[in-house]
């Protein structure tokens, strides 16, 4: 389906849980966030129906997010059912990687082909500090396991945090010289309770690229890679992996945005920065027809703002990232 600005909207990010096994500083406060009662979280049968309806509207690409999606029981069987739905052409998953060592093979067998793994530093002590207790070794093992199993591509998402992970930027770039991974540097975004932290540690993606090129030489632009989305991709000459830069704040990609989001409690969000949400859960549970549910998807697409700047003016307050879906 094409929105009012001529963008083809065919990508739905589906949060399946608001729960997470980490407490990353830029994502939520130390005490965590108030979790939705379990009865307000969509069950897998409801998610499957909504995704089937979404394909009738024109959605073809789907990404499972959280919270941390791997903490939800029954995930593997849900994925097996999801990939069988007509119209689901591409399925990927975003994870913090903590549970990947024991679940990567199951994910591959169930039908996931692409993984995004969040890792913001290669320093185990800094990682523990940033995630408030996370074990770096488990994430690294999960990345290695994913490469061994043949996920393609394996993307490592690095949130740019000036004054925290500056010393890791070049080291991450060097990973692409040793492994066929796609390292993506993402500008930190001011959402929910993380606004003050984000503003303090913000650096544009262009600064990261400059730092990398000062050490490793001029990066070479490369063609769009599978599932590249908003990233602009480059390569260290001779490297097997690639480097992506996502400048969601300094140089937003809104004119190319092709996605909307479904939260774990059944709310459709036209834009990450737009606090307006359309309720799918209530009509779904009240017996709405597929056609009625499809109209809600269409309305969400029609409400999609032209840009990040328009979105942030529409409403204030709102959820933390883990409550929306990463």
Q: What is the CATH number of the domain that holds 225?
A: 3.20.20.70
Q: How many CA atoms lie within 13 A of 80 on its CB side?
A: 7
pLDDT band, residue 198 (cuts 50/70/90): confident
Domain-embedded: residue 74: yes
Give me the percent of the chain exceeding a pLDDT of 90: 77
Domain-embedded: residue 5: no
What predicted TM-score, i.e. pTM, was given to this entire model? 0.92
Contacts of residue 144, Cβ cutoff 8 Å, sequence gap at least 6: none
pLDDT score of 197: 80
Burial per residue of 95-130, b for 16 or more beta-carbon CB atoms within 10 angstroms, e otherwise: bbbbbbbebbeebbebebbbbbbbbbbbbeebbeeb
CB 226 within 8 A of CB 153: yes
Domain-embedded: residue 3: no
- Count of structural domains, the chain: 1
The strand pairing partners of 8, in sequence order, are 2
CB 90 within 8 A of CB 61: yes
Domain-embedded: residue 229: yes
CB 26 within 8 A of CB 188: yes
The region of weakest confidence among 190-194, 240-244, 276-280 is: 190-194
pLDDT score of 313: 52
Task: Look up tokens 């840009």; give the residue.
Answer: 307
**pLDDT, tens digit, for every residue of 100-120?**
999 999 999 999 999 999 999
**pLDDT, tens digit, for every residue of 7-33?**
999 999 999 999 999 999 888 877 777
Domain-embedded: residue 135: yes
Domain-embedded: residue 2: no
Domain-embedded: residue 4: no
Within 10 A of 36 (CB to CB), how many other CB atoms are there? 16
Higher pLDDT, 45 or 317: 45
Domain-embedded: residue 1: no
Average pLDDT rounded to a whole number, residues 38-42: 96
Q: Tell me: pLDDT of 317 over 50.
A: no
Helix (H, G, I), strand (E, B) or coil at 254: helix
Segments forming the whole domain that contains residue 104: 11-324
């Amino acid at each position: 389906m094409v929105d009012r600005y001529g963008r083809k909207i065919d990508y739905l990010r589906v949060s399946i849980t608001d729960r997470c096994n980490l407490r990353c500083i830029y994502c939520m406060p130390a005490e965590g966030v108030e979790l939705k009662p379990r009865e307000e979280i969509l069950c897998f049968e409801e998610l499957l129906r909504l995704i089937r309806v979404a394909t009738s509207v024109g959605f073809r690409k789907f990404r499972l997010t959280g919270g941390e999606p791997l903490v939800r029981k029954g995930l593997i069987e849900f994925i097996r059912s999801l990939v069988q739905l007509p119209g689901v052409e591409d399925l990927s998953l975003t994870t913090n990687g903590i549970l990947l060592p024991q679940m990567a093979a199951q994910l591959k067998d169930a039908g996931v082909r692409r993984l995004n793994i969040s890792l913001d530093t290669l320093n185990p002590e800094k990682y523990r500090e940033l995630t408030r207790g996370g074990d770096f070794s488990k994430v690294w093992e999960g990345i290695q396991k994913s490469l061994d199993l043949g996920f393609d591509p394996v993307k490592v998402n690095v949130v740019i945090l000036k004054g925290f992970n500056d010393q890791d930027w070049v080291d991450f770039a060097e990973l692409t010289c040793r492994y066929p991974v796609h390292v993506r540097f993402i500008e930190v975004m001011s959402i929910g309770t993380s606004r003050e932290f984000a503003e303090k540690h913000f650096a544009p993606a262009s600064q990261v690229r400059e730092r990398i090129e000062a050490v490793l030489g001029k990066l070479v632009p490369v063609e769009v890679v599978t599932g590249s989305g908003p990233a602009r991709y480059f390569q260290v000459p001779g490297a097997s992996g690639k480097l992506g830069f996502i400048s969601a704040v300094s140089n937003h990609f809104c004119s190319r945005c092709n996605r909307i989001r479904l939260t774990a409690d059944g709310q459709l969000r036209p834009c990450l920065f737009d606090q307006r949400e359309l309720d799918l859960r209530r009509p779904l549970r009240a017996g709405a027809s597929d056609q009625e549910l499809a109209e809600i998807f269409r309305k969400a697409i029609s409400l999609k703002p032209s840009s990040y700047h328009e979105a942030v003016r529409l409403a204030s307050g709102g959820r933390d990232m883990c409550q929306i879906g990463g």
